[in-house]
């Protein structure tokens, strides 16, 4: 269908206003979005130390965790100091401490599992705990 020249002129004007309107709206939209961001978003570089610390997390790596085996259970220990101290103890004493304090087993139960007398377990537990305390405490004092 051929358009008359007046209709063509009308289309020309419609097209012109169509383009201007869409550009104006897009610009308005963009500015509104910027406005929204300035209200709801913050740059890390402009945050205070405290605010950043609240958002921070530390990664945990397998290699940072010490693992001890006792009676087929695996014990994961994160603290360097404790892990080193534990590794200095004899195996039996360490097993007793791990079972007792990590698994909440009673001396009788530990005695059954390890095949020892209950009194031996009790004695070893208290002496090795003292050794552990001495080791860790001494190291702490030395550092301070």
Positions that interact with another protein (CB under 8 A): 3, 8-9, 11-16, 18-20, 22-24, 26-27, 30
Comparison of 3 and 65: residue with beta carbon closer to another protein: 3
CB of 22 to another protein, least distance (A): 5
CB of 43 to another protein, least distance (A): 16
Comparison of 3 and 69: residue with beta carbon closer to another protein: 3
Comparison of 26 and 64: residue with beta carbon closer to another protein: 26
CB of 36 to another protein, least distance (A): 15
Comparison of 15 and 101: residue with beta carbon closer to another protein: 15
| DSSP per-residue codes, the chain | -PPPHHHHHHHHHHHHHHHHHHHHHHHHHHHHHHHHHHHH---GGGS-HHHHHHH------GGGSEEEEETTEEEEE--HHHHHHHHHS-HHHHHHHHHHHHS---HHHHHHHHT--HHHHHHHHHHHHHHHHHHHHHHHHHH-
């Amino acid at each position: 269908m051929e358009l008359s020249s007046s209709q063509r002129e009308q289309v020309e004007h419609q097209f012109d206003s169509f383009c201007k309107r869409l550009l104006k709206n897009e610009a308005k939209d963009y500015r509104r979005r910027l406005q929204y961001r300035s209200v709801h978003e913050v740059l890390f570089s402009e945050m205070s130390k405290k605010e950043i610390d609240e958002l921070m997390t530390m990664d945990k790596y397998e290699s940072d965790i010490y693992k001890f085996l006792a009676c087929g259970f695996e014990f994961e220990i994160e603290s360097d100091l404790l892990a080193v101290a534990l590794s200095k103890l004899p195996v039996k004493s360490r097993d007793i401490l791990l079972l007792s304090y990590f698994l909440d087993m009673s001396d009788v139960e530990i005695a059954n599992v390890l095949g020892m007398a209950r009194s031996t377990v009790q004695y070893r537990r208290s002496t090795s705990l003292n050794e552990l305390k001495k080791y860790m405490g001494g190291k702490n004092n030395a550092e301070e």
